[in-house]
Amino acid sequence: EAQVTQNPRYLITVTGKKLTVTCSQNMNHEYMSWYRQDPGLGLRQIYYSMNVEVTDKGDVPEGYKVSRKEKRNFPLILESPSPNQTSLYFCASTDGNQETQYFGPGTRLLVL
Amino acid sequence: EDKVVQSPLSLVVHEGDTVTLNCSYEVTNFRSLLWYKQEKKAPTFLFMLTSSGIEKKSGRLSSILDKKELSSILNITATQTGDSAIYLCAGRIQGAQKLVFGQGTRLTINP
């Protein structure tokens, strides 16, 4: 089954404790993205990747890092999480025609 | 600054009604506009539209882009309670995977 998986699905952590949210897709897609979704602000793009070792900033990259060492994986790293990074995070991958974007199930993060 | 604005922000109608959701965009190097449906989980893709003006249809849903007005509409006919969701539109920038989303329209269909 074609899918995008994220782990963990829920995470409660404390300020400053580094964390990684993993994202993996099994569709051999070149393009992958990370978004955060906050009430009243909609979905905002954090980072995206056009291919292995090719990443670029979205609209809200501050406080986040990503890497794309393999085509299937696109982890999101919070080196020093802060409470304003409490949010719902989605990973997505897009097919080569760039017509269909598949979203992962989401990771709900709470930073205390 | 790239911007996508949706209206209305919230809409409540009765089952069987027809609804029209609006999306306007100001995106530099515009490539395409995408519509998504989000229920209590991740967004699911509905349509991709380009400046060609070709209408897209899927069952009771249809959408078209007006490149002169820099806007798009999403129509849903004979609405059902299962259509209740947040509908998102996003503008894609040429040559990149950068997407700018609108705030979404929360559609509620009452039986």
**Res. B94: pLDDT tops 80:** no
How many contacts (CB atoms, under 8 Å) link A and B?
A: 56
CA-nearest residue to B95 within chain A is A50
A2 band by pLDDT with thresholds 50, 70 and 90: confident
Interface contact B97-A49, CB threshold 8 A: yes
The model's confidence at residue B41, banded by pLDDT at 50, 70 and 90, is confident
Instruction: Write down the pLDDT at residue A98.
Output: 63
Considering only the top CATH level, what class is B3-110? Answer: mainly beta
Which residues from A are below 8 Å from B43, CB to CB? 43, 90, 103
The per-residue pLDDT for B96 is: 67
Interface contact B54, partner A, CB < 8 A: no
For residue A37, the model assigns a pLDDT of 95
Confidence (pLDDT) at B98: 81
Residue A85's φ and ψ, nearest 5 degrees, are: -95, 5
Q: Name every chain B residue with its beta carbon within 8 A of the beta carbon of A105.
A: 41-42
pLDDT of residue B29: 87
**B47, B63 Cβ separation under 8 angstroms:** yes
Q: Collect all residues with Cβ–Cβ distance below 8 Å to B59 and sequence separation of at least 6.
A: none
The answer to whether A98 and A74 are in contact (CB under 8 A) is: no
pLDDT by residue (tens digit) across A83-103?
A: 999 999 999 998 877 667 899
Q: Does B45 sit within 8 Å of A43, measured CB to CB?
A: no
Mean pLDDT of the residues in chain B: 93
**Burial profile A66-105: b = 16 or more Cβ within 10 angstroms, e = fewer:** bbbeebbebbbebeebeeebbbebbbbbbeeebebbbbbe
Q: Which of B34, B45, B99 to mutate to test the interface with A (most CBs of A within 10 A)?
A: B99
Flag if B88 and A42 touch (Cβ within 8 Å). Answer: yes
pLDDT at B109 over 70: yes
Residue A72 pLDDT level (bands cut at 50, 70, 90): very high
Which pair of tokens denotes residue B45? 């893709």
A96 touches chain B (CB under 8 A): no
pLDDT above 90 (res B62): yes
The mean pLDDT value for B41-69 works out to 92
pLDDT digits (tens, 9 = 90+) for A13-58: 999 999 999 999 999 999 999 999 998 888 999 999 999 999 999 9
Closest to A40 (Cβ–Cβ): which among B96, B99, B103?
B103
